[in-house]
Amino acid sequence: MKKVVVTGGMGFIGFHLCKRLLEEGIEVIAIDEMPSERREQQEEMHLRIGRNALFQLINKKIEDVDNLHAMLSDVDVVFHLAAKTKYDSKWTRLAEVIEQNVKVTQTLLNACHAKTRFIYASTIEVYGARPGLISERTPTNPTSPYGITKLASESIIKEKNNKKVPYMILRLPTVYGPWQRDDMTYQRIMEGVEKELITYDRTTLDLVYVEDVVDAFILAATTDKKNEIIQIASGDSEAWFKAVNKLGCHKFEKREPAATLSTEKAASVLGFKTKTTIDEGLAKQRQHMTQWQKQQGL
C-alpha cells in the first residue's frame, strides 16, 4: 500500500486514518467538501497534517472531482468514509440522504480500477434492534435512515460491482475519541451541555476508540482476504453505558433488547482486537477537548 484515497478525510475518523497513514509513509489524497458547520475544526485538522508532502486535500464533493477515474488509476486503496451526517436520522430527509450517500458510493465504485481495494465504513445499525448474539450472518433489518442508506451502499458494493473491485465492508458501532463530533453524546457531556439536552448516540450497542478503528481499517486494507463484511466491536454490550457513567452522566438506562456483537470474525480474518480501555480513551478525548478550548480561548 503506497497511495490511497480517503473520502471524508477531514472528518472524525477520516482525520485519524489520514494521520496514521502519513506516519507510515503512505501517500494520501483526502476528498472532503468540509461543510460549514465543522469548518473551523477541519481547518485545524488540515493544518496539522497538510504540510506533509505526502498529503493532498481535494476540497470538493466526490461527484464534483475532475477526472475521478484517472485520479484513481495508481491508487492502491480507497477508504470510503464520507457520508452526510447532519440529516441522517431524519425520515423527512431520507430521499436526500439516499441521493447523497448511496449515489456517491456508486459513483466512487464506478471510478475505481479492478486492482484498487475498496474499504467501506458501514454501521451496525444495518441489523436493527434484535436480542442475543449478533454476527455478520445475522439477518439485516435496519430501522433508521442511516442504517437503510448504509445497507443500500453495501448492496451496491456487493452486487453492482461490475469491475469486480475487491472490497471489505466494516460495520462500526459508536466511535469515540479526540475530534468526536459535537453532536455526539460523550463530546456534549464533556463540553458541559445541559443534561436535559444530551441525547443517545445513534447506537449504544458497543463502543470502540477511534485509533482502534483505524487499526481495523489498515488491517482490512492490507490483509490477503477480500470481499468480506466484518463488524468491528469490543464485544462488551455495556461499554457505551459504562463510559457515560464514567463521565458522570447517569440519565441513560440500558435499552432493550439486550444484544452483543460477536468479535470472532474480526479476530479470525483481520487479527483485530480492541486495545484501548474506556478510561484511556475518555482521558485522551477530554485532554484533546481541553487543549482545543484553550487554543480557542474558551
CATH number of the domain enclosing 88 = 3.40.50.720
Would residue 65 count as lying in a domain?
yes
Distance from C-alpha of 173 to C-alpha of 122, rounded to nearest angstrom: 9
Amino acid at position 28, single letter: V
Distance from C-alpha of 216 to C-alpha of 192, rounded to nearest angstrom: 31
Per-residue pLDDT, averaged over 232-241, amounts to 96
Would residue 249 count as lying in a domain?
no
Joined together, the cell numbers standing for residue 88 give: 441522517
Inform me whether the pLDDT recorded for 91 exceeds 70. Answer: no
Would residue 28 count as lying in a domain?
yes
Distance from C-alpha of 199 to C-alpha of 115, rounded to nearest angstrom: 43
Would residue 248 count as lying in a domain?
no
Domain limits at 24?
Answer: 3-181+205-237+260-278
Would residue 286 count as lying in a domain?
no
Residue 89: band (very low, low, confident or very high) from pLDDT cuts 50, 70, 90: low
Residue 229: band (very low, low, confident or very high) from pLDDT cuts 50, 70, 90: very high
Joined together, the cell numbers standing for residue 60 give: 470538493
Return the closest-CA partner of residue 106 out of 46, 44, 149. 149
Return the closest-CA partner of residue 89 out of 149, 175, 173. 149
pTM: 0.94
Which residue bears the cell 440529516? 87
Would residue 291 count as lying in a domain?
no
Would residue 195 count as lying in a domain?
no
Distance from C-alpha of 40 to C-alpha of 10, rounded to nearest angstrom: 11
In this prediction, residue 208 carries a pLDDT of 98
- Report the domain count for the chain: 1
CA atoms lying within 13 Å on the CB side of residue 131 = 5
In this prediction, residue 143 carries a pLDDT of 87
Inform me whether the pLDDT recorded for 88 exceeds 90. Answer: no
Would residue 297 count as lying in a domain?
no
Contact (Cβ atoms closer than 8 angstroms) between residue 172 and residue 212: no
